[in-house]
Chain A
């Protein structure tokens, strides 16, 4: 179904022979399907939400086949619930396996969150990315589930850091220690969502009043193993009313603070596969791909 999902993205015309470059893609949403089919030169790959393509047939499946003919695909899950103590529903995994078989994605990712649990003795799904405490026990479940998923689909996955709206008293380690141990134990990669780092840093400011959210996010990046990063997500958020939490709604252009953190991340980790996420209040395709072009230029500046 898919073209050979080549990951040889190193031949863009603007690259010098010595340059190391990486692909830049966009999250593809329903409103942009037609644009993506008509104008293929704007992005190197597209990211699809896995669950949106679980149906076995129908017009969505046709669209998937058409897109897979034109682009390398990254499958990004929003519902796997990798940290679920109850485990991951096997029916969900079977659907994902079928999709992976058909699409042959060059990346597969989901979040460091939980989603499956029991309510009134029934296994249910939370329909959201629910946060994990940073404890040895929560880590054990996450490690077991990531190993299980990688075994099932036969491919390394990337795990994304979460935007969380609660903090747990029982945390026994930092988030970076938690994720670093996950990488060490499972050989998975990390999907660094820079916007999530900033949202968390704004919502839960450092106790030390001198540390800005940007500086806190930069420190977070310093604590992550250099070789663990497999992809970077960039996104924007709507400014909240005074005193309210920022919600990671992916509804705005990437703000300057996030671009600044991206430059910092490129300095620290070198060029990385990068994705522009925009899920709500969607702009024109040209606006979206212009954000991708901006990321590409920054990668190019850091590729020597």
Chain B
């Protein structure tokens, strides 16, 4: 047993030395190969999860942010695609924030798109529509599709995101053609046809969907949003694959 715990301690020690990025030197020792590989893999992983942010800030900044993020959030699942949720917070604390205050929200939007991308692909269960004919809907709820999120930003993050996609050659030109204006936006982010999507919604629909995500019953939703056009919203929600079922 003594030897067994020695092996455990040896592995903890090895991993701990790899994480000690502060002591990184340019000398090419075996340990430094692991250290370099670790931070480069982390930066590459972040760039895959946040491709638009990577383009907006460049690879050197991405590497710097990856190193900072590793100190706060360590990979824990064996899948690098699960790592990186804390990047918006790291961005908000960085030197980049003062000059580009909208970056944090673009990052938040990208993380939500990433979640929608990985979510289980489902279709609305049409049979559950009959539950709407119940006398009371106080126990009846809309169940949203996996990976759906709503998001509000003081900045036009949807336009900024679209302009900086890798396939757009000249983001400035793209934004000028779009008659870009700095204005707030409300978004729903979801998966449709197995791809992550986002759509602009108005403030009223944003609050409605926020309450759906909180699990309010349909009766409570209607009471909270008496002027919301629920009848027209439902087929649209089904068409865009926002709903999983009525429960």
Contact = CB atoms under 8 A, between A and B. Distances in A.
Interface of A: 51, 54-62, 79-81, 84-86, 89, 91-92, 95, 114-119, 122-128, 130, 133, 135-138, 140-141, 164-167, 243-245, 247
Interface string B64-89: 00000000001111111100000000
Nearest to A203: B30
Interface string B23-43: 000001011011001100110
6 contacts: A55-B81, A57-B194, A79-B78, A86-B8, A117-B12, A245-B33
Nearest to A165: B30
A137 B6 contact: yes
A124 B78 CA distance: 9
Contact of A245 (B10, B28, B78): B28
Interface stretch (B94-102, B112-120, B211-219, B232-240): B112-120
Contacts of A133: 7, 10
Interface of B: 3-4, 6-8, 10-12, 14-16, 18-19, 28, 30-31, 33-34, 37-38, 41-42, 74-81, 116-122, 146-147, 191, 194-196
A61 B79 contact: no
Given A57-B118, A84-B11, A92-B77, A128 B34 contact: yes
Contacts of B8: 85-86
A61 B121 contact: yes
A-B pairs with lowest CB-CB distance, top 4? A57-B121, A165-B30, A79-B78, A55-B118
Q: Which of A51, A84, A140 gathers the greatest number of chain B CB atoms within 10 Å?
A: A51
Nearest to B83: A127
A128 B37 contact: yes
Contact of B75 (A54, A56, A84, A125): A125
A287 to B, nearest CB: 23
Contacts of B147: 57
A56 B6 contact: no
Contacts of A164: 30
Q: Which of B119, B121, B122, B146 has most chain A Cβ within 10 Å?
A: B121
Contact of A58 (B33, B77, B195): B195
Instruction: Give the interface centre of B75, B77, B147, B194 by most chain A CB atoms within 10 Å.
Output: B77
A127 B146 contact: no
Given A59-B194, A125-B77, A128-B37, A85 B118 contact: no
A141 B5 CA distance: 11
Nearest to B37: A128
Contact of B11 (A91, A117, A244, A245): A117
A133 B121 CA distance: 43
A34 to B, nearest CB: 16
A117 B15 contact: yes
Given A79-B79, A92-B77, A166 B31 contact: yes
Given A56-B119, A56-B146, A119-B19, 15 more contacts: A55-B117, A56-B120, A57-B147, A79-B79, A91-B77, A114-B11, A118-B12, A119-B15, A119-B74, A127-B38, A127-B41, A127-B75, A130-B11, A141-B4, A245-B33
B73 to A, nearest CB: 10
B15 A51 contact: no
B12 A58 contact: no
B37 A62 contact: no
A159 to B, nearest CB: 17
Nearest to A164: B30
B122 A124 contact: no
Given A56-B119, A92-B78, A123-B76, A135 B18 contact: no
B78 A130 contact: no
B86 to A, nearest CB: 14
A133 B6 CA distance: 11
Nearest to B36: A247
A16 to B, nearest CB: 45
Nearest to A78: B78
Contacts of B14: 117, 130
